[in-house]
Structure formats: C-alpha cells, structure tokens
Structure 1
Amino acid sequence: MINNISILKNITILYAEDEESLREITLNILKGFTKKQFVAKDGKEGLELFKENEEEIDLIITDVNMPQMNGLEMIKEIKEINPNIPIIVATAFSNTEYLLEAIDIGVDKYVLKPIDMKKLLQTMSQSLLYHELKDLYIDKLTHLPNRNRLKKDLEQTKEDLMALINIDKFSTINDLFGENNGDRILSEFSDSLKEHFNKQDYKIYRIEADKFAIVCRDEKKDIIEFKNKCKDFADNIQKDTIIIDDNEIDLAITIGIAKGDGNRAYKFSQRVIAYARSKFEQVMIYEDSFNIQESFEENIKWVKKIKNGLKNGNFKGFYQPIVNNKTQEIYKYEALIRFIEDNGEVIAPFKFLDIAKKAKLYPNIIRVMLKEALLLIKNKNKRVAVNISFEDIASSETRKFIYEELRNESQYTNLLEFEILESEEISDMQIVKKFIKDVKELGCNVGVDDFGAGYSNFNMLTNLDIDFVKIDSSLIKEIDHSKNQEIIVNTISTFSKEFGFATVAEFVSSKEIYEKVKSLDITYSQGYYFGKPISFDEV
C-alpha cells in the first residue's frame, strides 16, 4: 500500500482535527503506521504542541476549518518557526481559494475529506524526504539539532555568542557503567540543558558524543552575563548527581565561550576548552591574548619535527652524572633525551615530550633512549640509567622491543638500569612486577624514580624487587633550610636502608644541599653541583 513503510514507522506526527469522531478514527489508523502522535482539537492547541515538541515532530496533518485558530493560521505560525517542516492539509473545501492560500504559505500536499486513508498514507510517504533530510540535522538520541545544523545556522549569521560544553572524562563513565547507561546520562544531561537555557533565549545543539553547544539568540547579549549563566549551570551539574538504576553518577564539565562571526566563534570556543583545562578553569572566555592559535601552530610544527627527527637521528642521549656521596666519584649516568636542531642547538624535553605523548610518538623516543644508553655502555664502559613509565611497561610492543634489545646486548646489560616513574598511573602492579623480574633476569638493575613527588606509596616499594629509590627534586631542592623536607627525606632514607635499597637525591645544586643529603646517609647525589647533562662525546 505504501513505500518506505519502515521509515514511516520512525516518524512523529502532529495531527490537528476538531471533529471528534473523524479524529478518533484517523488517529487509530495513524497509530498503526507512525511512531508517535501529538493530537490537537484546534489550531491554537496544535501550535502550542508544536512549540513544545518541535524537535520531535517530523510531519503535520491538519484540518483547515477549526475553532479558536484555523489550520491555515496555525500553519503560518509554524512556518515562521520551521519553514521546512512538511504539512499536509485535510479539507472538505476543494475550492481554489483555500488551496491557493495553503500553497502560498508553504503547505506541501493536501487530501480531501472524507479522507481516503490509502491516499493519506501515500501522501505522508511522499513527504518523508524531509524526514530523511532532518536526520542529517537532528541528533537521534537527544533530539537536539546536531553539528551539521550548528554549522549551517552559524553560516547564516554575522555575529554569534556561543559556548561549547564538554563533559569531562565521559569515556570513563562509559567504561564504568556501559554505553546504554552512558546514553541515558547524555539524555538527562540534555534535559538539564533545556531546563537551564530556555529556548526563547538560547539554541542548544549536541555536536559530538559528550559535547554540546549553546548559542545566544541575541548576539548582543552581555558576555559576562552569559558566562555567569554558564557557570551556574556547571555548578548545578557538579552539585546534583544523576541517578541511573540507583547508581549515583557525578559529572563535571568544562565550558569554553567565544564571540565573533559564526566560524570564529565555533573555532575559538573549541580551542578555549583545552586551554581552560590546562589552567584548571571550569568556564573560560576566549581572548586573543591567550595565543592559542600560536600554541596549535607550535604543536603542529613539533609533531612534524618529532617524526622527521626520529627518521633522521635528531634525538640524542645526554648524560647527567650521579656520584657516590662518600667518595664524590661518578657511579653512573642518567640518560636524558635531547632534540638536536640541524644547526646544533640542543632542545630540552619540556619542549616536545608532552606533544610526543599526545601524538602517540613517545614509544619511539623510549626506543631511541635505550639504544643511546647501550651505545654509551658499549663504547665507554659506563653504568647508565634509563627512565621508563608505566605506559611503556604496559605496552606489549615496547616490552618486546626492550627484551629483544637486552638479549642482543646481553654482555652489557649488567651496566644498564631502569628507573620506573612512581605515580598514580600505575594501575596494574602485576605487569610492573613481571617487567622487573624479566629485566633483572636479563642482567639489569631497577629502581623507582621521583619518589615523593606528590604521590608516595611505601607499601609499593616493599612489594617490588627493586635496587634503589630516587628521591624527587621537590623534596631535595630546599632541604638545606626546610625542616619538614628534611624529616620526609630522612624517613625515606631510613625506610630504604631497612629494606636494602640504595637512595639517590635529585636536584643537588649546592654544597649546602650536598652536605645535608650526605648527613642523612643518602647513597648517591645527582644535580648541577656535580654536573649538567652532557653529550656522548663529552662523557
């Protein structure tokens, strides 16, 4: 009887008809073919239903001659709100006056009363092109306009004030509670947005999985007032937990606000979110002084330089001496990565290491460092320590590379050490234990690096088969005049001696600091007092 029956079953209609018996008969038939129906007894009620449910309604069927507001008057109002929605007029009046007026205000099609249901369903089917197009612009989960709609709307305006809202770490919520519950959370979150940002003043969009946009209908709205409105919303979200099947789920969000022509407002609000996170700000307005564009350009430049540098050998190991506190003789060197520019300039890792991690290039740098350390051991017979993170240890590919290198250079591994960064990132202690066991069997020593750097776990030390503990620079750099730091370092030193660990003090930059760590029976010292990192040739 009708084409595209499966598509028809997915649509929501608004049906307006004042004659009760006809309304009931037609509605009962429509229920069998459409997903949802909103029903109005006159044009005024139909208009109100459309205003309340605009985002859901795909198609309108309306009588013409109705009390309070007739069908054509209702259609005029609706077309002001959404000129694209398909409307079918059902009327007993076949004269040209009504039909011409209906066509003039944008009615798609009409059927004559008494209604032939086969004809009506065929007419509805023919109008479903709009429904297919609508899917390009409406998010199916929240029924909010999507990214396509946002971009189209922004192209039609000269100035926009908008905010992008990002739910923090939403992927973790999906991992914990499952994607179905994640979708329920997003639906509730979108309802909260609709409640806080009323449709008269704001347009709301869902542009990605956990990203939403708010655009002010009045582009002249005060930006500080808008920021305060966004801040209130963020505070409410953080304060009110979402309940899913008796589970309380806490959300936090970051909001970036920008003003400008559509493309610039969208682009800058995206950029300021990342900047806000780096500054631990919940809501932030974009300002040109942030130099975010320059920051992105610098990132792009460094990603390219890192890739080329890995191919062309620009990454080199530099080596900082670690001395025996009793003899002041060099016991070993820590291998530290440097990027050597083509002009010979030496670039420290703070310039590129975070970018390498975010660009998934960091594992390649670890491989370079291991090869550089082994090169120094082979050529100059020096003991060398290499830093390694839990992320490296957790990577099966990185572990495989390390084991192969150690087996290939087995005659030199007795001079190689690994320093494992002690941090909250260590989520699987069994992997770490296995790695320590494996590399020690291949001849290496293993220690814990940066112990005491805001996160310390003495219990972890007792459960790992390590040889030394490196005390973080934050506890050493002021130890010569800070009693609190002295007490903490003394506790670490005493604890380490009890369990047979050697200790290394970082950031020993003066004679006074050296004398203090020596008095606390720290085994080794590393810092500018004994030497800066130097190149392979200088060792």
Structure 2
Amino acid sequence: MKNKENGSSDESPKRSVILCVDDELIILRGLKEQLKSAFGKSYQIEAADSAELALQIVEECNQAGIHIPVILSDQVMPGIRGDEFLIRIQETNPNTRKIMLTGQASAESVGNALNKANLYRYLSKPWDSNDLLMTVKEAVRSYESDISLFELNKKLEEALLYNRDSGLPNLESLRRRLDLAAEEKEDSLLALIRIESTSLTTRDFGVSLYKDLMKKFLDSMKSILGNYGEIFHVYEDEVAILSKVSEEEFLPHLIAFRILLRSDYFTASGISFRINATIATASGKKELYYKARLALVKASQEPEFDSESGIYSYSEKMDDQDLYKINMDLGKRLNQAIHSGNVVPYFQGIMDNQTGKVEKFECLARIVEDGKVYAPASFLYLAKSTGLLRRISPILFEKALKKFSDSPYSFSINLSETELESPSFPKWALSRMEHYGINPSRVTFEILETASFHGNPERLKVIAELKELGAKIAIDDFGVEHSNFSRLLEIQPDFIKIDGKFIQSLERNRTAFILTSAITELAHRIGAKVVAEFVSTPEELKVVRSLGIEYSQGYLIMQPSPDITPVSIKIIE
C-alpha cells in the first residue's frame, strides 16, 4: 500500500484502519500522530493528502478485506471536496463512520454529508483534542458493535440457508430461490433426488461413513449436473437441482446421472456402495417444489417409471388436492370421534366347524356418526399416519371387556405395533381384565400382518408375557405380508387365521387349495388351531371343513354387528 504522504510503499496493514484525509500536511501529520498515540496499538492509522489518494487506500483495503471503522476528512480540498468524497465512501463502505474536520465548511456541505454520506459527526477546526479522541473512540465502538452484529447475523443466515455438512444451500435457500423465480415469472425446472439407501447405510456403517459417501455423491453430481443448474442439499437423504435451461437440454444430463448411479459404485472407507436413488422433476413457474415432491411421493407409491428415462415427472393428474381435502375432513372427524366416544367395537362371530355354533367373536373397530357406520378401511390408514391408533386400541379393548363381562363368550381383538412397542401393555391389559372379571383365557390377541418382529425382541417379549397371563395369541391374515413361517417359530401361536385371499379361491384355484391344506397341516403339527377368514358361501365352508379347519369366520356366518348375537349354521355333510 502506498505511503500517503510521500508516495513510498510499505506492507499492507493487517489491522483495521483509521484513515485521515487533509490537504494540509502539517495538520495531517499532527492528526495522525495524535490518533496513533491513542489507537495505534489496536488500529493502523493511515493518512492521505487528497481525496483521490484516500479513495485508492479504501479500494486497497476493501480488496484485502481490511476493515475501515473511521474516516476523518477535511472539507475544503483541491479536486474532490470532503462532502463529495464521503458520499462516494458511503457507496462502497456504508458502515464506516465518517467524521468531517473543517473550519470552512458551509451549512450546505455539512447538510449534504449528513443526508447523503450518513455523516457521524462534524468537528470544527481547531478541534479540542479530548473531544476528537472521544468522538473517534465512540465511532470505533459503534462500528465494531455493528460489525459484530453483522457477523452474528451472517452466521445465523448461514445456519438457516446452508447445510452444515456439505455447505450447499438447503431447503430454505431453495424455497427463497423458487419464490423469487415465481415473482419474476421465470420458467424453471426442478429435479429432486432422494437416496433410498440412507437408513440402511447409516444403520450398518454409521453416520460418519454416510457423510463421506454423501460427499462423493455430491461431487459426482456437481461434475455431471453442476453446469446446468444450482445444487441444493435439501435433507440428509435428498438433494435438488434448480435449472434455468430448457427441459430438452437438461433431461439428457439428468438421465446420464441416473445411469451412472445404476451402473457405478461409490467407495467410502474402502467399501463399495451402489447408491439407489429416486428422481422426480417438475417444470414451470409456480409451486415447483410441491409438484416435484408430489411426483417423488407418487414414485414411491406407484413406481410406473418411463421405461426409457427412469425419471418420474409431475403431471396435473398427480395433483390429489381433492384426496387431501377428504383426508383432512376424515382426520378431523376421526379426532372428534375419539373425543366424543364414537369409536365403538363391532362383533363378528367365529364358528366351530363341528358344531355349527358361534363360540367366540372378533372385535372390529367402527366409527358411528350421525347414524352412519364407518368401517376401518375408511379411517384406519389415517389412524396409523396420525398416530391416533395408539388411542383407538385401548378404547376398543376397554369397551369390549365391558361388553363381554356379562357374556360367557370368548373374544379376540387386534394387537397393533403400538401395543407391541409398549412393555407395560401386558400389565395394563391384566388390570383391565381383572376389573371386568374376565379370565385372560377368554381373550385372544390377534397379531396384524403388518407387524414386524425383525430386530424387535421387545415385541416378542410383550407377546410372551401375554401368553404367561393365560391369554391366547393368533396370527391374523396368515400367508401375506410379514406372515411367513419364521413367524410361527417366533410367536408359537394358539391360532392361525388363514387370509381370505386363499379361502375365496379354494373352489377354483388348485394352488390356493394346496397352500391352504399345507398351512392347516403345519398349524396342527405345531399345536395351533386354524380359522378360515372370509367364508362367504356354503361351498367354501364345505371345502374348509374338508381340510380339517376348526373355525370359520365371514359373512356366511355373521356380519359385523354392535351386538353379541348367538348364531348357529346348519352343517351340511
């Protein structure tokens, strides 16, 4: 940096700069020495004998990233006047505190500096030394306070707008960019890429390795797609790229990236991984993130990918606003039904195939509202997604116990993952059975086919404790979903309920007949009794009985009812 008084050069100062500007060298040197004595330990004091030279100094400091907390300038100088100089400084260094030192400044000049240069203070020549030093001290303190606040806001902004691990702009950044594009009515194309193997990789190898793998994934993505748009690290397992180029130009590169993912491997910690990802796109001017995310969700639910590109693109037919409105309405009604006691058990008889008499009942959830009865298919999926199933099951169990307290019949009730995940459920269930005077041997807990026991030994412990109480255990809908033969070993059930898909195909499908027969024989060998579900015709009942199945359940026997109704079916040999 040039020495301002003699034009020589020295090293650029590393400390923040206080700059003095005056065309009278004697005054300039005196001012510099006075400030150096007071502030020289913490700040570099620089001097310039013209506004033009001072502007060069400011430019050099700005390029070097050196702060200039305070500038003191004379008003009357050859060339650029003091007020004009300070106004130009305001354009490049608005936070710098500007002090005017002059005995000849007009009111117009001072007013000009005040209005256009955000003048910090005006001091008349000759100035009082104490007043000068106190003014500079307060100006420096004011500047440092603003800079500290600025740096803090900058850090907060970075935390808000950038992913901590990758340093890439995050979801909030993407939202802001999309809002800006929508305001300017710009056509854009947004691609969302979700890594499907995140949870497995993290579970088996830890977060650190996954982050390393993610870095390599992002580097590869930048090399292929970086020139065609801005990349965002939306979530830990999801990235996005916002492009302004045409869809025809962008999609081939996106397809190439997908082909790379399907054919190549990424190495982290000496282990090779193939990253499985789902890619969805949306284009247009508005709601791109919503549309691309909807396409991503649809890709998971209905993976009907284009056979050539493998990219799932948004289309108007995907927009399920009507479905969302229906779900919102049902969700509110479900919540209201729980609070108002409108969740009730309905009962369907389970018949002994030898006697033709109903000996026990299954409790089924229903919502009764304004005289209408809603079956589980209309609300159970919402109960699961909202977590309200945790509240429904205890209500049903309590009402069922009360109903059967005055009846000799046994009954069964579904046991969902919610109860299986509660170690205290067996004790609670026993206390409620004792309260209503019901022997646990009259109660059968049915394990839903959706319940998984893999890696969940605590769930098996809950089942074992229920059996220790004397309750029975049934496997519901055996033959589908998780109901495989290993489940028999894990649970050791008292009953196996064969899924209705097999029963309804017995007469016309030899494979269904063979499988049902095999399941029945296997159940008998392990000491379990069998219940055939969805028995709806006399012909189906006849085949079921011929296989030695002990019990039948279905509309032929009894439709679900709010009452416990004894039923007998005439058995035709």
Q: Provide TM-score, normalisation by structure 1.
A: 0.72
Selected match of 2:163 from 139, 151, 165? 139
Deviations 1:319-354, CA, capped at 9 Å, x for gaps: 12211122221121111111122x121112122212
1:504 paired with 2:531, answer yes
CA RMSD of the aligned region, Å? 3.6
The residue that corresponds to 2:193 in the other structure is 165
Letter in 2 for 1:524: Y
Is the Cα–Cα contact under 8 Å of residues 377 and 415 in structure 1 kept in the other structure?
A: no
CA distance in 1, matches of 2:259, 2:480: 31
Q: What is the number of equivalent residue pairs in this alignment?
A: 439
Selected match of 1:519 from 542, 546, 563? 546
Deviations 1:257-302, CA, capped at 9 Å, x for gaps: 222334x112222233222211135642222222322233333333
The residue that corresponds to 1:275 in the other structure is 298
Deviations 1:44-67, CA, capped at 9 Å, x for gaps: xxxxxxxxxxxxxxxxxxxxxxxx
CA distance in 2, matches of 1:172, 1:505: 37
1:447 counterpart SS class: strand
1:331 paired with 2:359, answer yes
Which runs of no fewer than 5 residues in structure 1 stay unpaired?
Answer: 1-24, 31-71, 76-85, 111-121
1:379 counterpart SS class: coil
Selected match of 1:217 from 229, 244, 258? 244
The residue that corresponds to 1:53 in the other structure is none
Is the Cα–Cα contact under 8 Å of residues 272 and 292 in structure 1 kept in the other structure?
A: no
Which runs of no fewer than 5 residues in structure 2 stay unpaired?
Answer: 1-10, 16-55, 67-78, 97-143, 306-310, 567-573
Shift of 1:376: 2.7
Give structure 1 regions of 4+ aligned residues with deviation exceeding 6 angstroms: 102-110
Selected match of 1:533 from 556, 560, 572? 560
CA distance in 1, matches of 2:425, 2:505: 37
2:463 counterpart SS class: helix
1:208 paired with 2:232, answer no
CA distance in 2, matches of 1:361, 1:294: 23
The residue that corresponds to 1:174 in the other structure is 202
Q: Provide TM-score, normalisation by structure 2.
A: 0.68
Is the Cα–Cα contact under 8 Å of residues 476 and 508 in structure 1 kept in the other structure?
A: yes
1:466 paired with 2:508, answer no
Is the Cα–Cα contact under 8 Å of residues 468 and 503 in structure 1 kept in the other structure?
A: yes
Range with greater deviation from structure 2 (135-144 or 270-279)? 135-144
Range with greater deviation from structure 2 (479-488 or 528-537)? 528-537
Is the Cα–Cα contact under 8 Å of residues 324 and 525 in structure 1 kept in the other structure?
A: yes
Is the Cα–Cα contact under 8 Å of residues 390 and 418 in structure 2 kept in the other structure?
A: no
Is the Cα–Cα contact under 8 Å of residues 363 and 398 in structure 1 kept in the other structure?
A: no
Cα 1:312–1:190, aligned 2, differ >3 Å: closer, same or farther?
A: same
Shift of 1:184: 1.6
1:246 paired with 2:270, answer yes
Letter in 2 for 1:180: S
The residue that corresponds to 2:130 in the other structure is none
Letter in 2 for 1:507: F
Is the Cα–Cα contact under 8 Å of residues 373 and 385 in structure 1 kept in the other structure?
A: no
Shift of 1:527: 1.5
The residue that corresponds to 2:328 in the other structure is 300
The residue that corresponds to 2:472 in the other structure is 445
Cα 1:361–1:173, aligned 2, differ >3 Å: closer, same or farther?
A: farther
CA distance in 2, matches of 1:454, 1:501: 20
1:321 paired with 2:345, answer no
Range with greater deviation from structure 2 (495-504 or 394-403)? 394-403
Is the Cα–Cα contact under 8 Å of residues 209 and 269 in structure 2 kept in the other structure?
A: no
Q: Identity percentage over the alignment? A: 26
Structure number with larger C-alpha Rg: 2
Is the Cα–Cα contact under 8 Å of residues 318 and 335 in structure 1 kept in the other structure?
A: yes
The residue that corresponds to 1:387 in the other structure is 414
CA distance in 2, matches of 1:288, 1:435: 47
1:149 paired with 2:168, answer no
CA distance in 1, matches of 2:235, 2:92: 33
